[in-house]
Structure 1
Amino acid sequence: MELDVPTTLGPGRLVIDAAEEPRAVLWIGHGAGGRKDAVDTLALAAALPGLGITVVRFEQPWRVAGRSVAPRPAALDVAWMAAAPHVAEIAAGLPLIVGGRSAGARVACRTADDVKAVAVVCLAFPLHPPGKPERSRIDELLQPTVPVLVLQGERDTFGNAEEVSTAIVEAAASSEPVSPRGIRVVAVPGADHSMAVLKSSPLDAPGVARLVVETVRGFIDELV
């Protein structure tokens, strides 16, 4: 089911894959590439409803309008928050987990507390622009006060799984107000930022999809 939602930036769209007897709702945002059907998010939408978890995918207004370039982060947050009351109606009091891939993961982290999420799922969190590790976004990943799961490719040029884990520990050591115990990083073997793998990678594409689904399911199972 699809639901258009008004925002000050134009209409956004919620794509809802509903569980018959839901116990939780996972609300996911897409990346700067604007694909609600990215391999990882599509795998979650296909598998989790059968496990009692409704999946709601949000298309940002710029993507609904057919534009190919994402606006600034603040605009992404504005549209996401405009959709929040509609997602709350869908959740109807059930636990809400927010998440997204890449830029969508950043939005989820920045707004998790505002939407009263019980957890955050980050798919390919963009720790830094490719080749520019000095421009770290670790502060955004540390922002939620609820548990965070990060699924990160080993070949991610925006920061691989090891880089993300190291940044969390270093931030905690430098007196950041967040314990690294609240953030779980799971490496996706051989995967890049889009979760694509090489022929020589330990996992093939279906294997990556299974890993994503099983890890997210296990994370949610611990919460609800």
Structure 2
Amino acid sequence: MSGETLEIDTAHGPARVHLHPGTRGLLVLGHGAGGGVQAPDLRTATAVAGELGWGVALVEQPYRVAGRRAPAPATQLDAAWTAVVHRLRAGPGAGLPLVLGGRSSGARVACRTARSLGAVGVLCLAFPLQPPGKAERPSRLPELEGAGVPTLVVQGEWDAFGMPPEGPGRSVVVVAGDHSLKKDQPAIGAAVRAWLAGLTPSS
């Protein structure tokens, strides 16, 4: 699938966006804390969305563009993400239904910003519910519950970060694998396809 690469300035440095065109909607996806946009599950979601006619924007946060692996604070992640989405909605995503998503940390950012950015849905790949071995740390479930729009969670059966529960407007699809979601791309693709196809009417 062909696409173009954009650099978008934010208050925390430039973000990089890998944009694949589409006319049915715009799916904006963020990477995990220590990974990039080439993660297998992000590639699968991109391919499936493209087959359905959706445009996809894979967003590299400024800290990754700058060559750092340690993630920025949540407030900076959200601010940079918001700047990118505003720019996309003023350009290639203008007038299209918006779905936000990502894997792990990127899914958290999508949940925290979905309502303020006017998303019609959130796609969470490997949502990091509870840091492994850190029971004293608060659960991230409130972020998931706060998305406020239809949400799909695709979670590995053996994910060390735990299994998010289903809830109002939230579906959870369990696939073979761990937090990396590398094991069963066909199952991930099928889940994303069915959910995304049901979000907006067929043209």
TM-score by length of 1: 0.83
Tell me if structure 1 keeps the 8 A contact 2:8–2:84.
yes
**Aligned counterpart, 1:175:** none
Q: Residues of 2 paired with 1:106 and 1:37: CA distance? A: 18
Give the number of the structure whose residues are more often helix, by fraction: 1
Q: Does structure 1 residue 181 correspond to structure 2 residue 183?
A: no
Residue identity matched to 1:192: D
Runs (5+) with no aligned partner, structure 1: 169-179, 198-207
Q: Residues of 2 paired with 1:18 and 1:212: CA distance? A: 22
Residue identity matched to 2:59: F
Q: Residues of 1 paired with 2:123 and 2:40: CA distance? A: 15
Residue identity matched to 1:79: A
Q: Residues of 2 paired with 1:45 and 1:75: CA distance? A: 25
**Aligned counterpart, 2:102:** 100
Residue identity matched to 2:195: F
Q: Residues of 2 paired with 1:125 and 1:78: CA distance? A: 20
Residue identity matched to 1:221: A
Q: Alignment length, in residue pairs?
A: 195
Q: Residues of 2 paired with 1:122 and 1:132: CA distance? A: 22
Q: State the Cα distance separating 1:5 from its structure 2 match.
A: 0.2
Residue identity matched to 2:193: R
Q: Does structure 1 residue 13 correspond to structure 2 residue 3?
A: no
Write out the 4+ residue segments of structure 1 that deviate beyond 6 Å after TM superposition. none
3-state SS of the aligned residue for 1:181? coil
**Aligned counterpart, 1:218:** 194
Q: Residues of 2 paired with 1:109 and 1:45: CA distance? A: 19
Q: Residues of 1 paired with 2:50 and 2:13: CA distance? A: 29
Tell me if structure 1 keeps the 8 A contact 2:12–2:80.
yes
For residues 42-98 of structure 1, the C-alpha deviation after alignment (integer angstroms, 9 at most, x for no partner) is 112233213211111100000011111111111110110111222212212111000
Tell me if structure 1 keeps the 8 A contact 2:15–2:62.
yes
TM-score by length of 2: 0.92
**Aligned counterpart, 2:28:** 27
**Aligned counterpart, 1:194:** 180
Q: Does structure 1 residue 44 correspond to structure 2 residue 31?
A: no
Q: Residues of 2 paired with 1:222 and 1:49: CA distance? A: 15
**Aligned counterpart, 1:64:** 65
Q: CA RMSD of the aligned region, Å?
A: 1.3
Q: Residues of 1 paired with 2:48 and 2:127: CA distance? A: 22
Larger Rg: 1
Tell me if structure 1 keeps the 8 A contact 2:48–2:192.
no
Q: Residues of 1 paired with 2:48 and 2:195: CA distance? A: 15
Q: Residues of 2 paired with 1:143 and 1:46: CA distance? A: 28
Q: State the Cα distance separating 1:133 from its structure 2 match.
A: 3.7
For residues 85-124 of structure 1, the C-alpha deviation after alignment (integer angstroms, 9 at most, x for no partner) is 2221221211100001000000000000011000000000
3-state SS of the aligned residue for 1:126? coil
3-state SS of the aligned residue for 1:121? strand
Q: State the Cα distance separating 1:181 from its structure 2 match.
A: 2.6
Picking from 109, 118, 121, the partner of 1:119 is 121
3-state SS of the aligned residue for 1:114? helix
Identity %: 46
Runs (5+) with no aligned partner, structure 2: none
Residue identity matched to 2:38: D
